Amino acid sequence: MPTPPRKIDLDWVFKRAAPEPNSGCWLWMGNISDPRGYARATNLHARSFLAHRLIYEALRGPVPSGLQLDHLCRVRSCVNPDHLEPVTQLENIMRGEGISARNRRKTHCVRGHPFSGSNLLIYRNGKERTCRICACIRAKITRDRHKDDKET
């Protein structure tokens, strides 16, 4: 059963969130003690919440089970519910700028060979991929080195 929307005083929100006119972000002026830079809000019982989630749920309703809120504006201290979208964790990661997301978006290897069709090698339980052409080149270089070592 979904949880009912949280009840919060919107005057309280707007005393702590400053609208940024160029981007439309509502920048949180309160606590940003989260180590990842997300805004935090504390209720009367000294319980801490992610401010963007608290405000989203108060204005839009609960975040569906299994989803998390993605900041479309990429500003972690923004609490504007129009800048938030419920997505899966994988979608949220892939939209980001982390190493996993950057590597997943690559369509070609560093030498320009495509990551597709028979040229795509997937290994380590589907977590890594490489170019078959480059893998063959590396294997040949290794074989040649071992061959040279045995001859000397």
Clarify whether residues 89 and 125 are in a common domain: no
Most distant pair of Cα atoms in the chain: their distance: 81
Q: How far apart, in Å, do the first and last CA atoms of the chain sit?
A: 73
Strand partners, 86: 69
Clarify whether residues 98 and 110 are in a common domain: no
Clarify whether residues 96 and 75 are in a common domain: yes
Q: Is residue 1 predicted with pLDDT exceeding 60?
A: no
Where residue 42 sits, what CATH number does that domain have? 3.90.75
User: Where among 86, 102, 118 does a domain terminate?
Assistant: 102
**4 vs 52, residue with greater confidence:** 52
pLDDT at res. 20 = 93
Structure pTM? 0.69
Range of the domain at 148: 106-152
Q: Show the DSSP H helices in the chain as ranges.
A: 10-16, 51-60, 89-95, 99-105, 132-151
Tally of domains within the chain: 2
- pLDDT tens, residue by residue, 50-98: 899 988 988 899 999 999 999 999 999 999 999 999 999 999 999 988 8
